[in-house]
Amino acid sequence: MTKQQTNPSGNQPVPLDKCQCARRLSRPSRLVHQAILRSFARTGQAPSRADLQRVAGAAGVELDPALAELDHADLVVLDRRGELLAAYPFSAAPTPHRLTLASGVSVHAMCAIDALGVSAMLGQPVTVISAQPDTGQQVTVQVDGDQATWEPPTAVVLVAATRDCCAPSAQRTCGYINFFTTDGAALAWAGDRPELSWALLDQPQALATAIAEFGPLLRDPGPTPSSELS
Tell me which DSSP letter residue 50 carries. Answer: H
d(CA 100, CA 107): 7
Contacts of 158 (CB under 8 A, 6+ apart): 176, 177, 178, 180, 186, 189, 190, 198, 199, 200, 201
Judge if the upstream peptide bond of residue 204 is cis by omega within 30 degrees of 0. Answer: no
CA distances from 210 to 18, 24, 145, 151, 227 (A): 10, 19, 10, 18, 29
Number of DSSP helices (H) and strands (E) in the chain, helices first: 8, 12
pLDDT in tens, 72-127: 999 999 998 888 999 999 999 999 999 999 999 999 999 999 999 999 999 999 99
Contacts of 14 (CB under 8 A, 6+ apart): 161, 165
Q: Looking at the predicted structure, is the pLDDT value of residue 148 above 80?
A: yes
Confidence of residue 158 (pLDDT cuts 50, 70, 90): very high
Judge if the upstream peptide bond of residue 89 is cis by omega within 30 degrees of 0. Answer: yes
Confidence of residue 220 (pLDDT cuts 50, 70, 90): low
CATH code of 19-91, in short, is 1.10.10
Tell me which DSSP letter residue 75 carries. Answer: S
Contacts of 49 (CB under 8 A, 6+ apart): 63, 81, 82, 83, 84
Domain ranges of the chain: 19-91
By the 10 Å C-beta count (0-12 exposed, 13-18 middle, 19+ buried), 161 is classed as: buried
CB atoms near residue 28 (< 10 Å):
19
Helix (H) or strand (E) holding 117: helix 112-122
Mean pLDDT of the chain, nearest integer: 89
Q: Looking at the predicted structure, is the pLDDT value of residue 13 above 70?
A: no
SS3 label, residue 45: coil
d(CA 221, CA 72): 20
Confidence of residue 5 (pLDDT cuts 50, 70, 90): low
d(CA 201, CA 111): 14
Helix (H) or strand (E) holding 29: helix 27-43
CB atoms near residue 97 (< 10 Å):
28
